[in-house]
């Protein structure tokens, strides 16, 4: 049998990355392409697990790297430094993503669907509709979960009218109360007790490099910022370890209050001056009111000041 096309999202997978990879597999299969397989590049977080448990389904298989010439479909990312090891030598046949396009190139033509929506699942939802393919409960729950996660129940500034429309429709198909299900799912993701400080700073971390400055912006969701700050000393210790191991210039950890839509940031590294162009750090920290989005708020705040 021909080798399967692998479908995966970014490293440190979030709910959109996992669920949209699974939905893309379902969509391909419903179109008659069964030679596809969703996989993942890291551990499933508790928020995503809540959605999988709700559906009583297993997470995709974990892979570490891709072989040369492997056919792949990238979901929810395109930057190679957020992708599988070996991606430079894989054969990317399709991308479905809602991020900026950066450090991306292929040697052959490909399908590329980019939309500046709040979530990859919203793009997939539109694909189902455009192609007249029926959306069943399973994929409806997966897509709804992804949209709830990426848009923080439509409260993030990344939310578009397309996400709102998709989530409304998907909630109806799935037969779930979006607000009740969504809050429970988001809260499941804020249970941080089982994680070490080292795990916490890697749970949802993304690397960026701009003008030679190496940055990491990590994010943890919580319902109580003071609760997370009880671990500040150890979190900072792990951030410092990561900085010296990877030669990072700026490491920002955003502790995001999903109920009140604020983020407390901790910033460390030899380039904290980049952050201080926007806000004053006290004890390495600042409270950013109304900031919940890495993509639309934190990343531009860093990049524009490098
Ligand atoms: Mg993502
Ligand atoms: Mg996403
Ligand atoms: Mg996210």
Name the closest ligand to CA 217. Answer: 3
The predicted pLDDT at position 131 comes to: 97
Strand ranges, E, within the chain: 5-8, 36-40, 61-62, 71-75, 91-97, 111-114, 205-210, 213-222, 250-257, 262-268, 285-289
Nearest residue to 202 (alpha-carbon basis) of 218, 190, 188, 191: 218
Give the residue extent of every domain in the chain: 5-187, 197-303
**Residue numbers of the chain with a pLDDT score lower than 70:** 1
User: By the 8 A CB rule, do 218 and 252 touch?
Assistant: yes
The predicted pLDDT at position 3 comes to: 85
- Which CATH number does the domain 5-187 belong to among 3.30.70.2860, 3.90.1640.10, 3.50.50.60, 3.60.10.10? 3.90.1640.10
Contacts of 14 (CB under 8 A, 6+ apart): 45, 47, 48, 76, 149, 150, 204
Ligand 3 mean position, distance from CA 74 (Å): 16
The predicted pLDDT at position 1 comes to: 55
In this structure, whether the domain defined by 197-303 belongs to CATH 3.40.190.10 is answered with: no
CA dist., res. 153 & res. 214, Å (int): 31
Name the closest ligand to CA 256. Answer: 3
The predicted pLDDT at position 166 comes to: 98
pTM: 0.92
Ligand 2 mean position, distance from CA 295 (Å): 10
Name the closest ligand to CA 98. Answer: 2
Ligand 1 mean position, distance from CA 177 (Å): 23
Ligand 1 mean position, distance from CA 5 (Å): 20
User: 81: which strand partners?
Assistant: none
Ligand 1 mean position, distance from CA 31 (Å): 25
Give phi and psi for 250, each to the nearest 5: -145, 125
Give the whole-number percent of the chain exceeding pLDDT 70.
99
Nearest residue to 45 (alpha-carbon basis) of 189, 158, 147, 186: 189
As given in the structure block, the two tokens for residue 47 are 């928020």
CA dist., res. 282 & res. 80, Å (int): 34
Q: What is the dihedral of CA 281, 284, 285, 291, to 10 degrees?
A: 80
As given in the structure block, the two tokens for residue 155 are 């409260």
Ligand 1 mean position, distance from CA 1 (Å): 32
- State the CB neighbour count (10 A cutoff) for residue 283: 8
As given in the structure block, the two tokens for residue 306 are 């490098």
């Amino acid at each position: 049998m021909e080798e399967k096309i692998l479908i995966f999202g970014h490293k440190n997978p979030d709910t959109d990355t996992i669920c949209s990879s699974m939905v893309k597999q379902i969509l391909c299969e419903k179109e008659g392409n069964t030679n596809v397989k969703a996989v993942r590049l890291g551990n499933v977080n508790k928020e995503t697990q809540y959605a999988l448990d709700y559906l009583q389904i297993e997470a995709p298989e974990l892979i570490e790297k891709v072989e040369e010439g492997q056919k792949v479909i990238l979901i929810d990312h395109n930057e190679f430094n957020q992708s599988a090891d070996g991606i430079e030598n894989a054969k990317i046949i399709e991308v479905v993503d809602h991020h900026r396009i950066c450090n991306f190139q292929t040697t052959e033509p490909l399908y590329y669907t980019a939309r500046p929506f709040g979530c990859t699942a919203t793009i997939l939802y539109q694909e189902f509709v455009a192609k007249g393919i029926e959306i069943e409960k399973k994929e409806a729950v997966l897509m709804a979960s992804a949209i709830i996660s990426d848009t923080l129940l439509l409260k993030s500034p990344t939310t578009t009218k397309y996400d709102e429309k998709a989530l409304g429709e998907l909630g109806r198909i799935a037969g779930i109360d979006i607000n009740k299900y969504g809050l429970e799912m988001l809260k499941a993701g804020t249970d941080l007790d089982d994680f070490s400080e080292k795990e916490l700073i890697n749970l949802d971390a993304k690397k960026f490099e701009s003008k030679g400055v190496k940055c990491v912006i990590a994010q943890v969701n919580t319902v109580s910022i003071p609760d997370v700050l009880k671990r500040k000393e150890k979190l900072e210790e792990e951030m410092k370890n990561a900085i010296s191991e990877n030669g990072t210039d700026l490491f920002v950890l955003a502790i995001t209050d999903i109920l009140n839509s604020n983020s407390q940031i901790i910033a460390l590294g030899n380039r904290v001056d980049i952050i201080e162009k926007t806000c004053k750090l006290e004890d390495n920290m600042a409270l950013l009111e109304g900031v919940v989005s890495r993509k639309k708020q934190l990343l531009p705040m860093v990049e524009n000041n490098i």
